[in-house]
Chain A
Amino acid sequence: MIENADLTLVDWSRAQFALTAIYHWLFVPLTLGLSFILAIMETIYFKTGSEEWKRITRFWMTLFGINFAIGVATGIILEFEFGTNWSNYSWFVGDIFGAPLAIEGILAFFLESTFIAVMFFGWNKVSKKFHLLSTWLVAIGANLSALWILVANAWMQNPVGMAFNPETARNEMVSFWAVLFNPVAIEKFLHTISSGFLLGSMFVLGISAWYILKKRELYLAKRSMLVAAVFGLLSSLMVAYTGDSSAKTLAQVQPVKFASMEALAEGKTNAGLIAFGILKDSEVRVGERVMQDFVFKIEIPGLLSVLTGGDRDIYVPGIADLVSGNKEKGILSVSEKRERGKIARDLLIEFQDARAADDKVKTDSIKTLFSDTQFQDNYFRYFGYASVSKAEDVIPNVQISFYSFHLMVMLGFLFIIIFATAIYLLYKGDIEINRWFLWIALLSIPLTYVASELGWILAEVGRQPWIIQDLMTVSGAVSQIVSGSVITTFILFALLFTLLLVADVSIMLKQIKTGPKH
Chain B
Amino acid sequence: MKNGSAIFARVFRFYYEGFRNMSGWGRKVWIIIIIKLFIMFAILRLIFFPDFLKKKFDNDKQRSEYVMDQLINSR
Chain A contacts to B: CB under 8 angstroms: 1, 3-5, 62, 65-66, 69-70, 72-73, 76-77, 80-81, 83-85, 87-88, 90-92, 117, 120-122, 125, 166-170, 345, 348-349, 352, 386-387, 389, 476, 479, 481, 485, 488-489, 492, 496, 500, 503, 507, 510-511
Most buried by A among B23, B33, B52: B52
> 15 additional contacts, CB 8 Å, given A87-B53, A121-B17, A352-B72?
A66-B25, A66-B29, A70-B32, A73-B37, A83-B51, A83-B52, A91-B67, A117-B14, A120-B26, A169-B64, A169-B65, A479-B52, A489-B44, A489-B49, A496-B36
> What total of chain B residues lie within 8 Å of the partner, measured CB to CB?
38
Q: Is B58 an interface residue (CB 8 A)?
A: no
Q: Tell me the complex Cα distance, A456–B18, Å.
A: 38
Q: Which residues of B contact A70 (CB under 8 A)?
A: 29, 32-33, 36
State whether B53 touches A91 (Cβ < 8 A).
yes
Given A84-B50, A88-B71, A170-B64 in contact, is the A500-B32 Cβ separation under 8 Å?
yes
Q: A65-B29, A476-B74 are in contact. Are A81 and B39 (CB under 8 A)?
A: no
12 residue pairs A–B, Cβ–Cβ below 8 Å: A3-B74, A3-B75, A62-B25, A83-B49, A83-B54, A84-B50, A87-B53, A117-B15, A117-B18, A168-B64, A489-B49, A492-B44
Q: Which of B36, B63, B65, B69 has the most CB of A within 10 A?
A: B36
Does B49 lie within 8 Å of A80, measured CB to CB? yes
Instruction: Please classify the interface of chain B as helix (H, G, I), strand (E, B), loop, or mixed, using the class held by over half of its residues.
Output: helix
B18 touches A169 (CB 8 A): no
Q: Does B28 contact A (CB under 8 A)?
A: yes
Cα distance A105–B33 in the bound complex, in angstroms: 18
Is A507 in contact with B29, judged by CB distance below 8 angstroms? yes
- The answer to whether B9 has its CB under 8 Å from any CB of chain A is no
- The winner among B18, B36, B50, B71 for most chain A CB atoms within 10 A is B71
Say if the beta carbon of B40 comes within 8 Å of chain A.
yes
Q: In the assembly, what is the distance between CA of A91 and CA of B69, in Å?
A: 13
Give the distance in Å from the alpha carbon of A83 to the alpha carbon of B50 in the complex.
7
| Among candidates A4, A69, A503, residue contacting B74 with C-beta atoms closer than 8 Å | A4
How far does the alpha carbon of A496 sit from the alpha carbon of B41 in the complex, in Å? 13
| Contacts of B53-69 to chain A: CB distance below 8 A | 53-54, 60, 63-65, 67-69
Whether the pair A503, B25 counts as a contact (CB closer than 8 A) is no
Instruction: Give A88 to B73 CA distance when docked, in angstroms.
Output: 13
Q: How far is the CB of A62 from chain B (nearest CB, A)?
A: 7
Residue of B nearest to A2 (CB): B74
Residue from the list B30, B48, B53, B71 in contact with A69, Cβ < 8 A: B30
Which of the residues A4, A76, A169, A386 comes within 8 Å of B67, measured between beta carbons? A169
CB <8 Å contact, B75 and A476: no
Given the contacts A489-B44, A489-B48, A492-B48, A88 and B28 also touching, CB distance less than 8 Å: no
On whether the beta carbons of B37 and A81 are closer than 8 Å, the reply is: no
Contact B52 A481 (CB under 8 A): yes
B3 CB-CB contact with A under 8 Å? no
Q: Could you tell me if A125 and B14 are in contact, using CB atoms closer than 8 angstroms?
A: yes
Chain A residues whose CB sits within 8 angstroms of the CB of B50 once the complex forms: 83-84
